[in-house]
Structure 1
């Protein structure tokens, strides 16, 4: 091209078969690789293009942001999808690409309008989007199939994916700059990138590139490798995306910490239990391989333990007997004494002083506890067992707001906090009530706080003790990925036997505490431990107090115990 020749490329539209070979500032596409011999174009879905207008009305900048100059050799080498797509012996796109490539090398382009094969257009055919100039080199264009992946993955993920595929052709300076940029990219973009790479059957090259760059899971102030209450300030989507990325990149520490954070924070999808989505969702919205169900089960175990602690003190101050009393095993070497059971057990007052109003003292604290748990922390619900929740005085007016409050028996109407750390913090604010100055210390606070500290020690541990250990979990290969109508991947869970999930809390082959003793905010002993087996017939018990050296195991024993002695 002569120095005096000034070429002004015409207004080109989407779907152009050939584009001029120009510099970055003048080209109607983004240049990822200056030596690239092909332009990849993303047309987008119909609904996606409606946002920016029709093909004819979109601005040149919008069209340019959907085109990238890359190397066809790098695409075919690093992506099995492009290796098959650009193969002229397999697909029509490959044959068209070969024809256009041969036209460019042989100079088969003329100034006469023609179709993609270089022949003149018939009257019934539409004219080309632009007229080739004989003094300008051109690059063939291939369009990404818009129905192969979800448009919600974004154009930025497509551009980053193409940059990774062409990484080997970068010079050393450009490689260093790209690695520095890749290391601190947002987790949301990397999650979409990994999903896009899976759609194009190229997860390995993307994973290796992220590992080589030392991906740091964004550049925020939150450290995903250590649990901290500040992690709970992140959105649920951000936490789930971090779990998804950590699983693909094989980062077990981050995976365990972030699954712990999701368990503690709770999920909007767990309000009515774990339900498989009816419509296709991204893989981080529903964790596969039974992990979603496992996190929900563990969370319910923790909440059940907190409920059991509240019920213990309500029964104690209310003078109610344990609904499921179990005798403690005799100490080794001591014979068990046969004590006849009576129908009436003497009531043990919780009042610390043997005054005549000890019964009134207990009743006072029972009322204060009930008020605090139901109104302040909203962790218990007071309702009636006599009322049908579907009953209405006026069946013809189901939306009436004139119904009395006592007919509202929905336990979710009070909206208790979902964050377990917030629940524990609220419970620890229980005031130290007293019925009169002569009953100082008779309240529940001094006895209630140490067990809460024991629970909080496991919930707030920086190692994420309640999270899932991905190294001992079944491989991700045990799931099958399908492509749905809108091309968002959807994992199909395959039932996983218990013997393949050795760390699952639902695994019946693991030992389980029948009785566990808590004293001074710590687990003191496990006097009755079941030996886990696959069948209940072979279940044996151990009466030797034993604590596991693993804090993860102690957490499982505490939160799955059948009975807890809170003041052993």
Structure 2
């Protein structure tokens, strides 16, 4: 708690060169050599916000605000409540003295108001100035309109700040009322959206999670799983979107592993079929083990060529290290499998290879992958039952049990989850 001394200049001047989206009529004041942004003419405290950035050091910004911000922030409600913390008691005592000299807070010079210092605004990205971000946040708490829609990166930082000060409800309501998500989607072309970098996708996912945008949560979580943008080491100096909270990061990594394991089981299924004693060639009297051997050899060659199979010695494998998981796009991986040639040992043996058999299974996988994203409703209201990482793995999944048609909302989630998390799968 810091009480500003009396005296000093209180001249006001408009903001210039600010990247903030708040109304341009907001003014800044020079108070005892410090710039104070006036967000409320009747503001009864000066809020000084400080934040330490790993690369650029300490940033600070000061604002004249109303203690009414505590109506929309549990953090400020507890901090400013008289009798709970020293700040609240000091502010109450200062206000009592000010009322003896002024009829209203509008008349009180900024330099005579009690000041409160707050440190740390959360794991935001580095910014040139802390003032515009905090001005946007505090303006929303005051019921003010932002002049423009902040860029997605700024919205992600805004969500982090709102979460830090337990004020997500106010920002969510503002986003809903101003239809911010619809406006951003309306300005984003399909080509631009498809080309978003991992960081841009993660920013959208964090925004969706914190500010309640179900369509973004499902869409961009599915993209992260499909692209393989999971499993990186956590760096606590990086912005929060690189380490998604509420175990979302763990859930996405688990879903990625489950999808890859399922695709690998499909490959293992066909290799097992052609190495078993059961004849796969179905040419009647002309069916032959030579055809099966030919198909097995071509299959192994194809899988090895595209990097999906690694032949390894089984007599002495001490020097062999396990292969690294596939890091590419699973949609591209399925497209690669669709290129499986229709090999023929001669002109009579049509459809003896795996191409005819694998294409319907790839269609089934492609359909299921459309539903690997996080459902906002289930994640928020029934996470323990919904999350893949919490579910008991089925011992056996059978192809005939998979159908997304005429399924209820929750049943559809279960059908997809059971296919991807089963211990064994029967693809025939």
What residue in structure 2 maps to residue 158 of structure 1?
134
Q: Say whether the 8 Å CA contact 2:124–2:161 is kept in structure 1.
A: no
Q: TM-score by structure 1 length? A: 0.57
Q: Say whether the 8 Å CA contact 1:473–1:502 is kept in structure 2.
A: no
Q: C-alpha distance in 1, partners of 2:245/2:340? A: 40
* Aligned with 2:268 (options 283, 288, 311): 311
Q: Say whether the 8 Å CA contact 1:516–1:523 is kept in structure 2.
A: yes
Change (3 A) 1:96 1:243: same
1:502 aligns with 2:385: yes
Q: C-alpha distance in 2, partners of 1:297/1:233? A: 25
Unpaired stretches in structure 1, ≥5 consecutive residues: 1-14, 52-62, 108-136, 322-344, 392-406, 476-498, 526-545
Kindly report which structure 2 residues correspond to 1:82-121, keeping only aligned pairs within 5 A, or say none.
Answer: 82=76, 85=79, 90-91=85-86, 95=90
Q: C-alpha distance in 2, partners of 1:515/1:27? A: 68
1:43-62 per-residue CA deviation (whole Å, 9 max, x = no partner) reads 543866559xxxxxxxxxxx
1:559 aligns with 2:420: yes
Q: Say whether the 8 Å CA contact 1:42–1:67 is kept in structure 2.
A: yes
What residue in structure 2 maps to residue 333 of structure 1?
none
Residue 251 (structure 1) shift: 3.7
* Aligned with 2:172 (options 195, 207, 211): 207
1:45 aligns with 2:35: no
Change (3 A) 1:424 1:21: same
Q: Say whether the 8 Å CA contact 1:33–1:71 is kept in structure 2.
A: yes
What residue in structure 2 maps to residue 426 of structure 1?
336
1:426-480 per-residue CA deviation (whole Å, 9 max, x = no partner) reads 11122233344444443322222111111111213xxxx22333433465xxxxx
Q: Secondary structure at the match of 2:12?
A: coil
Number of aligned positions between the proteins: 395
Q: C-alpha distance in 1, partners of 2:402/2:87? A: 68
1:240 aligns with 2:202: yes
What residue in structure 2 maps to residue 300 of structure 1?
257
Change (3 A) 1:196 1:217: farther
Q: Give RMSD over aligned pairs.
A: 4.5
Kindly report which structure 2 residues correspond to 1:21-36, keeping only aligned pairs within 5 A, or say none.
Answer: 21-24=11-14, 27-28=29-30, 29=35, 31=37, 33=39, 35=41
Q: C-alpha distance in 2, partners of 1:148/1:552? A: 36
What residue in structure 2 maps to residue 496 of structure 1?
none
1:448 aligns with 2:358: yes
Unpaired stretches in structure 2, ≥5 consecutive residues: 16-27, 103-108
Change (3 A) 1:46 1:311: closer
What residue in structure 1 maps to residue 64 of structure 2?
70
Q: C-alpha distance in 1, partners of 2:406/2:279? A: 31
Q: Say whether the 8 Å CA contact 2:53–2:126 is kept in structure 1.
A: no
1:300-353 per-residue CA deviation (whole Å, 9 max, x = no partner) reads 332222112112222233xx23xxxxxxxxxxxxxxxxxxxxxxx5x4142647
What residue in structure 2 maps to residue 382 of structure 1?
311
Q: TM-score by structure 2 length? A: 0.72
Kindly report which structure 2 residues correspond to 1:480-559, keeping only aligned pairs within 5 A, or say none.
Answer: 501-505=384-388, 512=394, 514=396, 516-517=398-399, 523=402, 550-559=411-420
1:468 aligns with 2:350: no
Q: C-alpha distance in 1, partners of 2:187/2:309? A: 34
Q: Secondary structure at the match of 1:162?
A: helix
> Higher helix share goes to which structure?
2
Change (3 A) 1:555 1:348: same
Change (3 A) 1:144 1:158: farther
Q: C-alpha distance in 2, partners of 1:76/1:163? A: 13
Residue 216 (structure 1) shift: 0.6
Kindly report which structure 2 residues correspond to 1:333-372, keeping only aligned pairs within 5 A, or say none.
Answer: 347-350=278-281, 352=283, 355=286, 358-372=288-302
Q: Which has the larger radius of gyration?
A: 1
Q: C-alpha distance in 1, partners of 2:327/2:54? A: 39
* Aligned with 2:161 (options 196, 218, 243): 196
Q: C-alpha distance in 2, partners of 1:138/1:104? A: 14
Q: Say whether the 8 Å CA contact 1:188–1:238 is kept in structure 2.
A: yes
Residue 69 (structure 1) shift: 4.5
What residue in structure 2 maps to residue 145 of structure 1?
118
Q: Secondary structure at the match of 2:135?
A: helix
Q: Say whether the 8 Å CA contact 2:13–2:29 is kept in structure 1.
A: yes
